[in-house]
Amino acid sequence: MSKTAEQILSDELLIPQPKEPLAHPMEGYLRTDRLPHIWCSTCGIGTVITAFIAGLQKSGLERDKVGVVSGIGCSGRAAGYLQLDSFHSTHGRAIAFATGVALGNPDMKVAVISGDGDIAAIGGNHFIHAARRNMNLAIICINNFNYAMTGGQAGPTTPESANASTAPYGAYEYPFNLPFLAESSGAVYVARWTSLHVRRVTNAIAEALVKPGFSFIEVIAPCPTLYARRNRLGSGLDLMRFYHDNAVIDHNADTRDIDIEYQKKIVVGKFVDKEKPTFLENKDAVLSAKLGDKYIPYKGA
Amino acid sequence: MKADPIGVATGNHYIDGDHACAEGAIAGGCRFLAGYPITPSTEVAERMAERFPFVGGQFIQMEDELASMAAVAGAAWTGVKAMTVTSGPGFSLMMENLGLATMMEVPCVLVNVQRGGPSTGLPTLTGQGDMMQARWGSHGDYELISLCPNSPQECFDLTITAFNLAETYRVPVLFMMDECVGHMTEKVVIPEADEIEIIPRKFYQGKKEDYRPYQFKGDGSVGPMIKAGEGYNIHVTGLTHDERGYPVINAEAQDKNVRHLVDKILLNEEKIRIIEEDQVEDADVVVISYGITSRVALKAVQDARAKGLKVGTMRLITVWPFPEKRIHELRDKVKAFVVPEINLGQIVLEVERCVSGKAKTILVPHAGGWVHDPNDILNAIEEGAK
């Protein structure tokens, strides 16, 4: 049985304590035979993976019924370390692939963990259309403001004036405001946190996993090796301090107003949490009304 | 096993190739379609959208062809028989995730109703210019299976075959129709369900912790699959991988992985091969054709035989893998191979390669938009018989 949002938020334990000592605190949820992982020291992605596992545990969902799909990039490697049905798809197509899994087995809850370039640039069309359909997916977009796997190029979220290897004199494109994009495309749950907000991210992931329909969580995360180094922002730890000093929690913020400017305040919070029938609920309703008893709903293979 | 009667529209129909393909898919067990409208293939998706609610199928119109093929690959991992359908530029867009489906070894069917190209080309008129794209379209080395029907009846029959081959070899099968066959209306006989042989997916039966998504035995065999959501906790990737599905980025793993993708098709070429031959054994000239062109060539062959020429025909129903060994058997016996196709020379290259100069190879090209004048093929036969 999945838990209600109230139960998730009232659960104080971040990670349930195991009865027996484990080789790794998240043994059983991580592919320990694939460790060590590829991520750099003080990169924020690992924190999000920890929060994902903790959020999955808090959600009360049956683990076998949860799948994860990633695209390509540093965050795209997330699926490879999670001991779930996990799919490492092509660049930008994680949400499209996940749509196939979610429709192929409607009993599953499918999460997508991928980066800002994967989800908002090459995969931007799939992102807005899955949101429009209210497809039953939980999207966790780890935003480190650049293409890190390929060496720190500018992307659709790089703040104006920030330095990137393909913007060596400073970026001059307008970046996406992802929560606004998600909300205006139809998402029923929209939040933004930073990788400093571990408990918030964990709770958001748990909420997104149990929420029927299209949920979107943006997690701002440090890229110490490329984005921070090129911009002389220090280590990942320095960026965590920056988040501590500059992240402003405002659950009531209008998503139109929460653009991220270079090294300015970051508005975080749970901005949208509403109810709306999902793609499959709408399909069943329309076809049942039109076809009556002749309609045979798809039940999985 | 036999087909599920719920999906079999038994009876005599008067329908076009696109509609027949949709009926073949449903009869063949397909219950998932993700697609995007494009002429001249849209009727396949339209008929599936209309029929699926009555047979328990899942239909979704995606935002583009990239997404359609990706969704098919994802759905196939849940155990469902899945397909997509497209034409022209849509086929190009599907190449990316066709590669993913190939690397992940998911059974699925991609229907391409060919039209004239390149680019937007001739949206409403026929072509056979995607035959090399079917072979080499996605990057990297791999082998797939491609089928070419030449009538609405075959669009029905061979779509079932396509799904069966996809399951047998855990591979995407390309169903390479052309606009003429897709939009040609003829009688299509759909048999009783118990007369239709279906190859079901082979699912793993052992202990969950022992499951491996892949088997690279080197003998052309493929391992069983599982259904996502049943606790196997598989990992699969488009990266080069080992039998566990885990990424391994080195030359040895690449050799093992890619050779497996190639071997499972090429080592089974004779089992996969479907060709139709007529009077080839004592022929001076053999006309090799596929799709709609095989029906145009028939007129030229009849005219040539009336003139006393010894002409045989070989119709490629499976174009890929190419029947290399069969061409080797014939190349010393005949004077010439004549290859008419609605492109400026694609499959003829493969014929030339297999003939290796031991007979003449004569291309009868057509840039697309219409079928050949049979006299052009007849002239080539006469030249070959000299």
CA separation, residue B107 to residues A47, A59, B30, B199 (Å) = 36, 33, 11, 11
d(CA A91, CA A107): 26
How far away is chain B from the Cα of A136, in angstroms, using its nearest Cα?
Answer: 14
Name the CATH topology of B274-385. Answer: Rossmann fold (3.40.50)
3-state secondary structure of B126: strand
Identify the contact set of chain A against chain B, taking CB-CB distances under 8 A.
Answer: 31, 33-34, 63-65, 67, 69, 79-80, 83-90, 92-93, 96-101, 103-105, 107-108, 125-126, 129, 279, 287, 291, 294-301
Q: How far is CA B313 from the centre of its chain?
A: 21
- The pLDDT tens digits of the residues spanning B242-261 come to 999 999 999 999 999 999 99
List, for chain A, all residue ranges whose pLDDT scores fall below the cut of 50. Answer: none
Selection from B320, B319, B300, B321 nearest residue B311 by Cα: B300
How far away is chain B from the Cα of A264, in angstroms, using its nearest Cα?
Answer: 36
Choose the closest CB to B78 out of A104, A126, A129: A104
- Chain B interface mutation, best of A99, A110, A137, highest count of B Cβ atoms under 10 Å: A99
- ipTM entry: 0.97
CB neighbourhood size of B220 (10 A): 16
State the pLDDT at residue A5. Answer: 65
- The pLDDT tens digits of the residues spanning B73-104 come to 999 999 999 999 999 999 999 999 999 999 99
Contact A104 B74 (CB under 8 A): yes
Kindly state the helix (H) or strand (E) to which residue B337 belongs, with its residue range. Answer: strand B336-341
- The pLDDT tens digits of the residues spanning B126-140 come to 999 999 999 999 999
Size of interface A-B (CB pairs under 8 A): 169
Residue B367 contacts A, CB cutoff 8 Å: no
Domain regions of chain B by residue span: 5-195, 274-385
How far away is chain A from the Cα of B202, in angstroms, using its nearest Cα?
Answer: 13
Domain regions of chain A by residue span: 39-294
Q: Take residue B332 and report the two structure tokens written for it.
A: 């010393």
Choose the closest CB to B233 out of A83, A108, A279: A83
Selection from B97, B45, B53 nearest residue A286 by Cα: B53
State the pLDDT at residue A24. Answer: 77
Choose the closest CB to A103 out of B58, B96, B234: B58
Chain A residues inside the 8 Å CB shell of B72: 100
Longest CA span, chain A: 65
d(CA B326, CA B348): 15
CA separation, residue B181 to residues A14, A68, B112, B125 (Å) = 61, 41, 11, 11
Same fold, B5-195 and B274-385: yes
Beta bridge partners of B58: B32
> Which architecture, in CATH terms, is B5-195?
3-Layer(aba) Sandwich (3.40)
| C-alpha atoms less than 13 angstroms from C-alpha of B28 in its C-beta half-sphere | 27
Q: State the average pLDDT over residues B324-342.
A: 97
- The pLDDT tens digits of the residues spanning B150-186 come to 999 999 999 999 999 999 999 999 999 999 999 999 9
The values of phi and psi at residue B280, to 5°, are -85, -20
- Chain A interface mutation, best of B237, B239, B240, B244, highest count of A Cβ atoms under 10 Å: B237
CATH classification number, A39-294, choose in 3.40.50.2000, 3.90.1640.10, 3.40.50.10420, 3.40.50.970:
3.40.50.970
Counting DSSP H helices and E strands in chain A, the numbers are 10, 8
Mean per-residue pLDDT over chain B, rounded: 98
Beta bridge partners of B111: B85, B175
State the pLDDT at residue A22. Answer: 73
How far away is chain B from the Cα of A34, in angstroms, using its nearest Cα?
Answer: 8
State the pLDDT at residue A12. Answer: 55
C-alpha dihedral sign at B375, B381, B384, B386? negative
Sequence letter at residue B263:
D
DSSP annotation string for B140-202 = SS---EEE---SHHHHHHHHHHHHHHHHHHTSEEEEEEEHHHHH-EEEEEE--GGGSB-----
Termini Cα distance of chain B: 51
